[in-house]
Amino acid sequence: MSLLQVRDLHTHFISRNLDNEIRIATALNGVSFEVSRGEVLGLVGETGAGKSLTAYSVMNLLKPPAQVVGGVVEFDGRNLRDLETEDMNKLRGSEIAMVVQNPRSSLDPLTRIGEQLVRVHTAHTDTSESAARARAIEMLGAVGIPAPEQRMRAWPHELSGGMAQRVLIAMALMNEPKLIIADEPTTGLDVTVQAQILDLLRELVETRNVAAMVITHDLGIVAHYCDRMAVMFAGRIVETGAVETVFDNPEHPYTRTLIASTPERLRETKQKILGGGAPPNLYNLPPGCHYVERCQFADDSCNNPLVLEQVGDGHFAMCARMDAVREGWPS
Amino acid sequence: MADLALSGAPRARSIPEKVWGKIVGISRRSPTSIIGFVIILFFGLLALLAPLLMPYDPIAANPNLILQGPSANHWFGTDGNGMDVLSRVIFGSRFAFGIAIPVVIIALAIGIPIGLYSGYKGGNIDEAIMRVVDAFRVFPSIILALAVVAAAGPSLLNVVLVIGVLDAPIFVRVVRAEVLALRSSSFVESGLIVGNPTWRILFVHLLPNAIQGAMAQTAVRAAWAVRISATLAFLGIGIQPPTPEWGAMIRQGAEFMVNGQWWVGIFPGVALILMVLGLNMFGDGLQDLLDPKRRSGGK
Amino acid sequence: MTEPLLRAENLTKHFVTPRTAQTVRAVNGVSFEMHAGSTVGMVGESGSGKSTIGRMVVRLLKPTQGSVTFRGRDIAPLRDRAVRALRADLQMVFQDPWSALNPRMRVKRIIQEPLLLHSKLSDSARSDRVEEIARSVRLNTDLLTRFPGELSGGQLQRVCIARAIATDPGLIVLDEPTSSLDLSVRAGILDLLQELREKTGAAMLFISHDLGTVRLVSDHILVLYLGHIIESGPMAKVFDEPAHPYTQTLLSAHLPADPHTQLHRHLLEGEIPSPIDMPPGCPFSTRCPLVRDDCRTALPPMVDIGDGAQRAACIRIPEGSNKVPL
């Protein structure tokens, strides 16, 4: 049973430029995916694909000129877009928690971390300060921070990158969230610390039946820590499925290019991958498939509107020319 | 979403539509810049077209018409020498520009290279330079100007030079701040790796990128220059009557104010305030336009 | 054995923090060689000193101690003016292409600058050469008239590479050249570097924290930890049979982009110590799973493994007890 169901989400940036013309950047163009309890969904895509924007749109944290202009965000049976601001505020930080990329920018530099953890708890529940403190210490321990009682009095700048990230996760856990959204949680951290944090996240998902969505550009993380993955391009999910399935049988040309560009595949195939190219212009996207300009298989049928089609068990892709791609892709 | 199927590509517009569009677009972001611009334009036109606009010769004294109030013949009245105040105010705008522009140019010419060098070098050299610069900034400029002009003589040139030098520290600070921010980005390292000598790093690489703040400040500093020179003239230093400079006119007007002859001082005073206001508004608005961080909103 | 193009000996860099006057021992006694036409990969995590070493090799930084012998001449003690003359021969590509290029300079001028500074070509000859270079880095010549802000990450990095190869340098240091780029773009850049290497015979020092990428491009590998080289050798040997315990754990923690690969990991405790607070003896002694008392007394020397092409600094190697259980 999926905990979070996003259907056809559209987010636009609407602004006026200095020539007083309205400019609309269609950043999310019909994003659809689901996340269930006890599983980790990996969201991958290049810069500008809309991964972080998706998370912020779901959490209703957009600031002008960005705004959600269409779609449904259903969490635990409720449509989040219909919620009153107050109710959404209650949800955020308690049932849905977000862990962001740069831990230091999320921690208040002028407050000790213990205090910040306590605040998160008392803001959402009716517990006493001492109960909140006890829970904070418990959470710090759960995320593997040594000597948690002493750490409560630490200032954010005293923490290393890895510690700070762990404190953020502890904060996310304070109110027993049902869903954790982690946006590039390990970028910039050393490989060992990365492993520790990801192991922790995985454990939470498995033992506490939490649902998790990990946004990353690192396919290695997706391969080993995610159960399912969704590939984003120009504001759309172009392929989604179980991790092994997508790695073994990518259908969409973009996914194929991504998988083929990993060092592991490059070593095997020694094939010339001419991936990449100009990033899509969100102010002026092609009418049908957004990948046409970079795709070697594009033809006129690609200009028609597209939907995610089922290509296997739990495996979906959005491409008008999948048969041609299957035949034409070098093996 | 059908109702928002506007594509990003706007339909082609005609030239007048584009110009109006630009004006509206800019005024949405920064209404003050447009208002300020209009004011400056107004005075600029006055300065340029003064000979055509002045009803009378600004320094033609007429002993028969001393201290006449505003009338149909003399909209702003006449002053203590019988000279037409309106003509003098119009002509005075030339001085405002004649002072503001050279002062800012001198201040930029001194301030920018120092700011570039100091910010780039960093360390002890930077500290030493900034101490000197701060001393200048902190010193009461009027007193320094008084001293210099008293020593060197009350000519327009001296006034301009002194104010120009006094104005330079702001530009040093602004340029230096931008250079400091740029130093941490690797394009200075890139400049070095290619093999640029220091002067090229400063002027070819850093300057074009560090100049924005300084440019945004020019209008505001011009306003200050106008104000200071008017103040000096008011104090009796610098420009002397009968030269139709607003500060000197206000000085003269201050004497007559007591006797109820308000028009001699008020009109040049209003002109001065408007000019300075216009420059400040334009400068402020320019900063809003150029520095995206000052604007609100946006992700 | 041909003369190495570059030899770094006992390279050391210590920084003193301005306010607290603590010594950051960023690089400590690093020695290695580079030969024309080969790519040396330098891997390490934060605090390893790899970027600092890269900058010392091209003399953007002056070593605190040690020598950098380039084409037989020690460039470490040279004055800045003399170093500038070398720039035609010794170049660098930086990690972040967005901040490495002057945003107010058109691409053509950017690529042209080294030619302007170091060659005596006429304006038109320079212009032709710029087009030639743009083609060799697979950069569309239409982009030459644009500003960096109008180009994508991959295109920008190609401009940086174009600028670096303009004067046909003998040695190029690349500091994480693909880390800031999107996945789909990286392969193209790596492929280009390979091609350039073959065409020009330049030596490359490829610095990266990403093991997958380093494995693809390097002939020879240097593994760094806290400013020390703890292992070096031919790429295949070091990856297949890492000798030093740190190399073993580092490789084991790498996440290959293949869900079927079984992970056999040894996860280290804690975090990398700060280069201000260097542990005595072996720098890895605070976290090494095989540590024993004499690891802390003295810095282990590099010992040969097998025929000597591969070397590592661990006292357990001669006795064969250096394998970390995974």
Q: For residue A61, give the chain B residue with the closest CA.
A: B299
Q: For residue B183, give the chain C residue with the closest CA.
A: C99
Domain ranges of chain A: 2-95+177-328, 104-176
Based on its alpha-carbon atoms, the radius of gyration of chain A, rounded to whole angstroms, reads 21
Kindly tell me if the per-residue pLDDT of C245 is higher than 90.
Answer: yes
Distance CA A48, CA C98 (A): 15
pLDDT tens-digit readout, C153-193: 889 999 999 999 999 999 999 999 998 888 888 888 998 99
| B30 domain residue, yes or no | no
Distance CA A259, CA C313 (A): 37
Low-confidence winner among A172-181, B247-256, C9-18 (lowest mean pLDDT)? B247-256
Low-confidence winner among A156-160, A165-169, B229-233 (lowest mean pLDDT)? B229-233
Query: Which of the other chains make 3 or more beta carbon contacts under 8 angstroms with chain B?
Result: A, C
The answer to whether the Cα torsion of C45, C48, C52, C53 is positive or negative is negative
Report residues of chain B scoring pLDDT below 70. Answer: 1-12, 291-299
Average confidence (pLDDT) over C24-29: 92
Distance CA C169, CA C227 (A): 27
Q: Which residues of C touch A265 (CB under 8 A)?
A: 257
Average confidence (pLDDT) over A47-54: 90
Q: For residue B17, give the chain A residue with the closest CA.
A: A19
Q: Which residues of C touch A224 (CB under 8 A)?
A: 255, 259, 263
Q: Which tops the pLDDT comparison, A190 or C216?
A: C216
Q: How far is B182 from chain C (nearest CA, A)?
A: 9
Q: What is the pLDDT of residue B285?
A: 81
Distance CA C192, CA C133 (A): 12
Kindly tell me if the per-residue pLDDT of C290 is higher than 50.
Answer: yes
Kindly tell me if the per-residue pLDDT of C53 is higher than 70.
Answer: yes
CATH number at residue B125: 1.10.3720.10
The domain tally of chain B equals 1
Distance CA B283, CA A304 (A): 50
Which 205-224 residues of chain B touch chain C by CB within 8 A? 205, 208-209
Interface check C110 vs A, CB under 8 A: no
User: What's the complex ipTM?
Assistant: 0.85
Q: What is the pLDDT of residue A173?
A: 86
Distance CA B298, CA B246 (A): 44
Partner residue facing C84 (CB), from B186, B187, B197: B197
pLDDT tens-digit readout, B236-247: 777 777 788 888
Partner residue facing B1 (CB), from A21, A69, A283: A69
Average confidence (pLDDT) over C121-127: 92
How many CB pairs (< 8 A) connect B and C?
A: 52
Q: How far is A146 from chain C (nearest CA, A)?
A: 9
Quote the pTM value. Answer: 0.85
What values do phi and psi take at C29, rounded to 5?
60, 50
Q: Measured in Å, how far apart are chain B's first and last C-alpha atoms?
A: 22
Q: What is the pLDDT of residue A236?
A: 93
| B157 domain residue, yes or no | yes
* Nearest one of C239, C208, C236, C234 to C54, comparing CA atoms: C208
Percent of chain A with pLDDT over 70: 97
The verdict on a CB contact (< 8 Å) between A22 and B6 is yes
Distance CA C179, CA A217 (A): 11
| B296 domain residue, yes or no | no
Q: What is the pLDDT of residue C129?
A: 94
Residue B115 lies in domain: 51-60+87-290
Fold of A2-95+177-328: Rossmann fold (3.40.50)
Q: What is the pLDDT of residue A270?
A: 64
How remote is the C-alpha of B165 from its chain's centroid? 14
How many CB pairs (< 8 A) connect A and B?
A: 59
Q: Which residues of B touch C87 (CB under 8 A)?
A: 193-195
Average confidence (pLDDT) over A195-222: 90
Q: What is the pLDDT of residue B274?
A: 92
Interface check C177 vs A, CB under 8 A: no
Q: Which residues of B touch C117 (CB under 8 A)?
A: 194-196
The verdict on a CB contact (< 8 Å) between B195 and C99 is no
Considering only CB atoms, which residues of chain A are within 8 Å of chain C? Answer: 46-47, 160, 162-163, 190-196, 199, 217-224, 243-244, 247, 254, 257-267, 272-279
Q: For residue A12, give the chain B residue with the closest CA.
A: B4
Q: Which two tokens stand for residue B94?
A: 């030339």
pLDDT tens-digit readout, A86-98: 888 888 888 999 9
| B35 domain residue, yes or no | no
Specify burial of residue B267 (Cβ count, 10 A radius: 0-12, 13-18, 19+): buried
The verdict on a CB contact (< 8 Å) between C99 and B191 is no
Interface check A305 vs B, CB under 8 A: no
* Nearest one of A279, A292, A235 to A30, comparing CA atoms: A235
Distance CA A13, CA B244 (A): 54
Kindly tell me if the per-residue pLDDT of C254 is higher than 80.
Answer: yes
* Nearest one of C74, C53, C43, C59 to C253, comparing CA atoms: C43
Interface check C186 vs A, CB under 8 A: yes
Partner residue facing A264 (CB), from C153, C191, C256: C256
Residue type, B126: D
Average confidence (pLDDT) over C6-33: 91
Q: Which residues of C touch B193 (CB under 8 A)?
A: 58, 60, 87, 91-92
Q: Which residues of C touch A277 (CB under 8 A)?
A: 152, 154
